[in-house]
Amino acid sequence: MHSAFDINAIRAQFPILAREINGYALAYLDNAASAQKPTAVMDAMKGQSERAYANVHRGLHTMANETTEAFEAARGKVAAFLGAPSSSNIVFTRGATEALNLCAYGLSHLIEPGDEIIISQMEHHSNIVPWHFLRERYGAVIRFVPVTEEGALDLDAFKSMLGEKTKIASIVHMSNVLGTVNPIADIAKWAKAAGAVMISDGTQAAVHMDVNVQELGVDLYCMTGHKLYGPTAIGALYGTSDILEKMQPFNGGGEMIEDVFEDRVTYNEAPYKFEAGTPPILEAIGLGAAIDWITQFSSEDIRQHEMALYNAARDGLAGMNSVRVIGTTSDKGPVLSFTLEGAHAHDLAQILDKYGVAVRAGQHCTQPLMARYNIHSTARASFGIYNTLDEADRFVAAVRKAALFLS
Ligand SMILES: Cc1ncc(COP(=O)(O)O)c(C=O)c1O
């Protein structure tokens, strides 16, 4: 296989990949859950702790100023990475889940009973449950765009759902189970023409493709660090200046205020209005380092590499009658979900682990999607920049062995 970049040099930057699991070289294919971190990310966090660490924003001393500079520089890197007009459009959150909860809470004051929120059957629970809060608390009605058998969104159904009552549309950019990449620019155009606020969950998409929030035309877009070769507990929410102005703050406390009196409080401007308390400082700096690291490669090269591995794994399973691949659209990222007839996905994952192959098994926080396919769970192999063809082959061989044993 032709690979445009030096895979061995890339792997050397991820010391954890040299691990052995149960006597086998680790084949880490659980990247859609959390990817591993290169030394550049770990060094950035450690280096900041060793050189200049203090709380951000409030200091008048050198280290506080240096830490603030590094923290705000990371915000600028996220803004550039997502194609946002300015770093003031980027709110740091503790991950995509918190970003989506912030969207729901922040917009909740605009919701009247009977107002509609359109999401889809392929959403992660973090883009479902916050809207259920609005259903329970304010009488919102949630409508689910159906998913076709191949794993595409039924776009005609989406269009037919839009109407006067639609207040919000929140659609995942790339599914964490199906791998499907949704045409968010079109969806945003239709949603906004109907007067709805358009949100997209870019947690998976931001890892595997170039994202430009302005070209997508979304009002709000979220991403997370730990899938982008960065640390946990850090993510970001992009919002247009207009929507961030309209959204009410989520957490109250220090930093998000302008003035506090006994009888009233006034808020800081965005993005600080949404960042109460001490933020995850080192994690934000780590996310900035992850963005620096990943953007040294061409996203087209990454995509070609990852999809070659995906295709090899999918083709390797294709000959097995007992395997059913879930999510077969052509426009997709390197996520391979499947069921093995007669076997529970958890048992399958445990057997693969015996061969050093790490995959995820379960419902992947997508119960409505599992119900759509009438399945209980899937096993999921997800490929990242450092995976190899040999690992894809070892995955296929291990599934074959497991199938002999389980079914
Ligand atoms: C599509 C999607 N949305 C949201 C999330 C939640 O992300 P986080 O772990 O950053 O809260 C995930 C994580 O699996 C995801 O895959």
Domain boundaries, the chain: 7-30+298-406, 43-294
| Contact call for residues 172 and 201 (beta carbons, < 8 A) | yes
Task: Give the pLDDT confidence score for residue 109 in this predicted structure.
Answer: 98
Its CATH class, for the domain covering 43-294, is alpha beta
Among 141, 307, 365, 375, the active-site one is 365
Q: Which of 350, 337, 364, 392 is nearest to 27 (CA)?
A: 392
Q: Is any atom of ligand 1 closer than 6 Å to the C-beta of 380?
A: no
Task: Give the pLDDT confidence score for residue 90 in this predicted structure.
Answer: 98
Q: With residue 238 as reference, give the H or E element that holds it.
A: strand 235-239
* Percent of all residues in the chain with a pLDDT value above 70, rounded to a whole number: 99
Q: Is any atom of ligand 1 closer than 6 Å to the C-beta of 36?
A: no
Ligand 1, atom 13: closest residue by C-alpha: 33
What is the C-alpha separation between 161 and 246, in angstroms, rounded?
25
Condensed to tens digits (0 to 9), the pLDDT of residues 263-317 reads 999 999 999 999 999 999 999 999 999 999 999 999 999 999 999 999 999 999 9
User: What's the whole-number average pLDDT of the chain?
Assistant: 97
Task: Give the pLDDT confidence score for residue 5 in this predicted structure.
Answer: 80
Ligand 1, atom 12: closest residue by C-alpha: 203
* Percent of all residues in the chain with a pLDDT value above 90, rounded to a whole number: 97
Question: What SS3 state is found at 319?
Answer: coil
Q: Which atom of ligand 1 is nearest to the CA of 364?
A: 14
Its CATH class, for the domain covering 7-30+298-406, is alpha beta
Ligand 1, atom 7: closest residue by C-alpha: 96
pLDDT over threshold 60, residue 3: no
For the segment 189-197, the average pLDDT, to the nearest whole number, is 98
Condensed to tens digits (0 to 9), the pLDDT of residues 27-66 reads 999 999 999 999 999 999 999 999 999 999 877 899 999 9
| Cα(225) to centroid(ligand 1), Å | 10
Task: Give the pLDDT confidence score for residue 1 in this predicted structure.
Answer: 46
What is the C-alpha separation between 230 and 288, in angstroms, rounded?
8
CA angle 270, 274, 275 (to 5 degrees): 110
| Contact call for residues 174 and 204 (beta carbons, < 8 A) | yes
Q: Is any atom of ligand 1 closer than 6 Å to the C-beta of 120?
A: no
Helices of type H across 52-154: 62-82, 96-107, 129-138
Q: Which of 107, 165, 160, 94 is nearest to 137 (CA)?
A: 107
Q: Is any atom of ligand 1 closer than 6 Å to the C-beta of 48?
A: no
The pTM assigned to this predicted structure is 0.98
Q: What pLDDT band is residue 212 in, cutting at 50, 70 and 90? A: very high
Hunting for tokens 């993005």 — which residue is that? 271
Q: What pLDDT band is residue 4 in, cutting at 50, 70 and 90? A: low
Give, for ligand 1, the residue of 224, 287, 380 to mutate: max count of ligand atoms closer than 8 Å to Cβ: 224
- Please indicate whether residue 222 is annotated as part of the active site: no
| Cα(2) to centroid(ligand 1), Å | 31
| Cα(8) to centroid(ligand 1), Å | 29
Q: Is any atom of ligand 1 closer than 6 Å to the C-beta of 182?
A: no
Task: Give the pLDDT confidence score for residue 18 in this predicted structure.
Answer: 98
β-pair type (378-382, 335-340): antiparallel
